[in-house]
Amino acid sequence: MGSSGQGAAPRLVAALVCILAMAPAWGRAALEGDPPLTRHLPDVDAYPQNFAIAQDRQSIVYVGNYDGVLIFDGERWELLRLPNRDLARSLTFDGVDRVYVGGHDQVGYIRRDAAGREQYHDLTPLFQSVLGEGEDFEDVWDIHVAREGVFFRALRHVFLYEPVSGATRVWRHPGRFGAIAQSGDHVVLQFRGEGLRQYLNGEWRPLPGSAPLDELVWSLLRMPDGGLLALAADGRWRVYKDGRVSNFKVPASFPPSSSIPAGTELPDGTLVLVSSEGKVYTLDPRTGAHRHFALDTGFLIDVVPARGGGLLIAAEDRLVHLEWPAPWTAQGESYGMNSSLVSMVRWGNRWHALTSSGVFAVEPTADGASRFRTLDWTQAEAWDLLPIDANTALLADSYDLIQISGQRARRVTNGALYPYLLRRALGDPNVVLMGLQPGVGLARRSGSEWKVAVEDHTLDELEASSMVESEPRVLWVGSDRGGVWRIRFTPAYGAIEETRRFGPGEGITYGEPRGGWVTQLADGTLVATTSNGVFRWTGERFTAFDLGGLDIVRGKGEWIELATAPDGARWAYSHKHVYREVGGGWRREEIGGVRRGAVESLTFDETGAPVFSSTRAVLRFDAAAAAPASDGVPTVQLRAVERRDASGAVQALPVDGALSLRDGDFGLRIRFALPEFRQAGATRYATRLAGLEPHMSAWSDANTLQYPRLPPGNYRLEVMARDALGRDSRGPPLELTIAPAWYASNAARALWLILGILVLSALTVGAVRWRTVRLERLVAERTAELRTANERLDAMAHLDGLTGVPNRRELDRHLEKAWTQCAKESRELAVLAIDVDGFKRYNDLHGHQSGDEMLVRLVREASACLNRRADLLARYGGDEFFVVRIGASLAGARELAETLRQRIEVAALGATVSIGAAARSPSGGGQVRDLVRAADAALYAAKSAGRNRVAA
């Protein structure tokens, strides 16, 4: 017995130390999720293998690819092939106007011409002149721009190019070269087998103490203290500084350096590293602060800081924009959250997630991150958790009130209470007020047990969604469809004394639905919100409440909810948007990059930071995170001005300065773009052609203008863009003059007068003939009108009358045609079968008219995901649609399906979709109906697996 007692104390101390050590991780760190990211997939015909990335001063992005250089301006991808039609291994922007390119036995640079087109300038002949006969330099792995010139590093060669004079030099090393980097005023290069050398007075001189870095180092990153961090094939983390190589301690969660192909240094000294396992690692060498998160499933190739904020990362087959540092982060499915989230509640030192399938605890993991773990308290929907003390809490699930004591659950009721909200009573700590579905009630504590004391389900329209006890025994309740209610309890909370619903007679009005939401501000003011606005309780009635201009920024008819942070900061939110009061006014926060589904609730963590629960993720806002850079913010720019004549010939015109053209039978096509990559499709444009249009156009996503023929005159094209953060930019205007044609000059007018007289005489002679011809022409016009009417009827027979997309008949015709085309061209044909989840239930709840409106909106969202001209979206029947894409593999079809599914999910249509994807190569045999059956089978699998998912 004594021995057992002596062992218990150390174990207790150890357990206490463990708990205290884990407490910080359960606190703030536990809710630090992934920053917003946007994936941009090239839609050009290029092999999906990337190698490098660069961004120029105009913010245009260049990606080194297996087939050349991919160029992306935020709206359009282009492929620029190198002269030898081989890969582009390395890229570097010189800070002025050139992007240098290193390929396989190929070097050069890209510079934009007067027409805004990126042109490749080949420097290979210059380097071949300094090589021996038959000597190749193969891949150029790195490019470094320094004051001495541009260094191109190949495996066994290093070239120096001086841009002003065109002079070149070459160095060879039989042991091969490694990384090249800038260290202070000098360029440093690894000579493999020897260590590092620095470039001094035209020679490479050994760096003392660098000999331990003799194995392959493929990257050297500058440290805040002036050292160089080596990423090497041996996997070790080492730093060269002050003439010595030392081991560099990284967090335990970091992989070997051999798994880090590239990294970059941010202005604040933070290192950003990308890994071959698809993860991003950040590390502040001065403080040791670090983060890591999964970005993609494949290899991450390269990373550069993005102009305007964030990071640009080249993955194997795509470009990724990562918001970092990020005020908004999200924890979702990758953290173990696989249910629909209702709200987050902090009890003690641990966060609890209330979801559609029960309660999850947020717990730290061994690598310093966190993960959601299912608790066994309930299998039903968990709606509210009310901490009573350190050991006890009450849980409201779909059916019962549950008491949690010592992490064990005990049901207080028998399955018919339907609690939704729980609040401690102001006038008695042993009473908890309950919002029911429908009605209200209360529970009372007797000893250590809680029991339901009052339960009223007679208030049919009072389905509680918010509750505030403004003073003891006076409870205000907001409901989704029944508006705002006031409930009074008798003394000692013995029974319900009064129930009253408030409406227009009391100063509060409702839109549709007739919902109301209540809260109490920090100064005690009771506030109710409806889709008609914000209202304040004066003690006798409700009055309209401006609340510092919130009505100005919220959407029309948008039903918002309010909350006040511990520091007094005020927040508002709806299912789609989040608003923050800043500097006496309100601004809408951009959460599109992190929001997953609808925003459901708001609470605050121990630091006062807001924690939002969206349907599929926890969103956290950190005001201390760095705001996007104010310098280098991308601005809208003209990308192409083209003259197109009647024959279809195209002439590229200068995009800068002024254009002067002579009137003729031609049109103008003008394309512009904002190179901003935070959210695909989020940029909006407004334009005006002064001299033709009096006002700026409405904001839209259109980035191309067409003018079939402009009359002679002076014009000025003005273009504005608004990015995902709501920032506006205006590009320099394009001055355009259309001079009259030669035949419209004064001399020509005199000639035309003489000719007019002659023509008038001829017309008199031909009047009789004209009357005859006129009758023939009328007959021809009537015939043409009849033909046009028949063509319109034929077109209507091929379109769905509700959604306006092709119908089943046109789908069948298009599939046969596409199958034949792909068979001839030996290409694959992909089909997506799309079905709305629970559409019948949606119709039953909202009516068939609402169901039709939802299908129209769904088609609009789905069409926005189809960026190829040949893509076809058709209505198969009822709530099922098909997408046909020519030349897409099964992987490409699945990715398109996932993009489409996610867009519809976050669009808050009231429903989700399940998608089956299939692809076939017609040249391999079979028939098109086999492809359709495969897509239907995949759709059935997606439905069977739980809906709102993709199967292939």
932: left (phi over 0), alpha (psi -120 to 50) or beta: alpha
Q: How far is CA 142 from CA 102, 177, 182, 816, in A?
A: 7, 10, 13, 49
**Taking a C-beta distance cutoff of 8 angstroms, is the pair 383, 397 a contact?**
yes
Q: Which residues of 880-898 are buried (b: 16+ CB within 10 A; e: fewer)?
A: bbbbbbbbbebebbbbbbe
- Asked if residues 394 and 404 have their Cβ atoms less than 8 Å apart, the reply is yes
The gap between the terminal CA atoms of the chain, to the nearest Å, is 63
Q: Strands, E, within 812-868: which ranges?
A: 829-836
Helix (H, G, I), strand (E, B) or coil at 847: coil
Distance CA 487, CA 499 (A): 5
Prior bond of 364 cis (ω within 30°) = no
Q: Are 189 and 196 in contact (CB under 8 A)?
A: yes
Is residue 949 helix, strand or coil?
coil
Which of 503, 495, 476, 471 has the alpha carbon at shortest distance from 487? 476
Distance CA 691, CA 707 (A): 13
Q: What angle do CA 807, 810, 811 make, to 5 degrees?
A: 80
Give 219: exposed, middle or buried? Use CB within 10 Å, 0-12, 13-18, 19+.
buried
**Residue 332 in contact with residue 33, Cβ under 8 Å?**
yes
DSSP H/E element including 466: strand 464-471
Q: How far is CA 931 from CA 447, 833, 898, in A?
A: 67, 11, 19
The pLDDT of residue 747? 62
Q: Look up residue 308 and give its amino acid.
A: G
Look up the pTM and report it. Answer: 0.71
Please list the alpha-helical segments (H only) found in 672-807: 746-765, 767-796
Cβ(279)–Cβ(292) below 8 Å: yes
Tokens standing for 792? 């319109």
Preceding omega of 285 cis (within 30 degrees of 0): no
Q: Which residue has the tokens 């009372």?
A: 444
User: What is the residue-wise DSSP string for 194-253?
Assistant: TEEEEEETTEEEEPTT-TT--S-EEEEEE-TTS-EEEEETT--EEEEETTEEEE----TT
| Residue 18 CB-half CA count within 13 A | 8
Tell me how far CA of residue 510 lies from CA of 163, 268, 352, 463, in angstroms: 69, 50, 34, 16
Mean pLDDT, consecutive 10-residue segments, the chain of 952 residues? 37 36 40 88 94 96 98 96 96 97 97 95 91 87 97 96 95 95 96 96 95 96 95 96 95 94 93 95 92 86 93 95 90 89 93 94 81 93 95 95 94 92 95 94 94 90 92 94 94 93 94 89 92 92 90 86 90 92 87 87 91 93 70 86 90 91 90 92 93 93 92 94 88 92 64 74 66 63 54 61 88 91 90 93 86 91 86 91 93 92 89 94 87 93 92 92
Strands 913-920 and 950-951: parallel
Say whether 594 sits in a helix, a strand or coil: coil
Question: How many residues are present in the chain?
Answer: 952
d(CA 848, CA 854): 10
DSSP letter for each residue of 618-664: EEEE-TTSPPPPSTT----EEEEEEEEETT--EEEE-SSSEEEEE--
Q: Give backbone dihedrals phi and psi of 44, rounded to 5 degrees, phi first.
A: -100, 165
Distance, in Å, from the CA atom of 666 to the CA atom of 120, rounded to the nearest integer, reads 30
- Token pair listed for 266: 């941010």
- SS (HEC) of 80-133: ECCCCCCCEEEEEECCCCCEEEEEECCEEEEEECCCCCEEEEECHHHHHCCCCC
Q: Which of 393, 360, 485 is closest to 435 using CA atoms?
A: 485
C-alpha–C-alpha distance, residues 129 and 499, integer Å: 94
Query: What token pair was written down for 951?
Result: 């199967």
In degrees, rounded to 5, the angle at the alpha carbon of residue 282 between the alpha carbons of residues 281 and 287 is 140
Residue 662 to residue 737: CA distance in whole angstroms: 8
- The pLDDT score that the predictor gives to residue 19 is 35
What pLDDT score was predicted for residue 898? 93
pLDDT of residue 647: 85
156 close to 169: Cβ distance less than 8 angstroms: no
DSSP label at residue 31: G
pLDDT of residue 32: 80
Take residue 535 and report the two structure tokens written for it. 């209202």
Task: Please tell me the predicted confidence (pLDDT) of residue 17.
Answer: 36
Q: Please give the C-alpha separations between residue 407 and each of 365, 641, 675, in angstroms, as whole numbers.
A: 20, 68, 52
- Pairwise CA distance, residues 801 & 425, whole Å: 57
Closest CA relative to residue 912, chosen from 878, 943, 887: 943
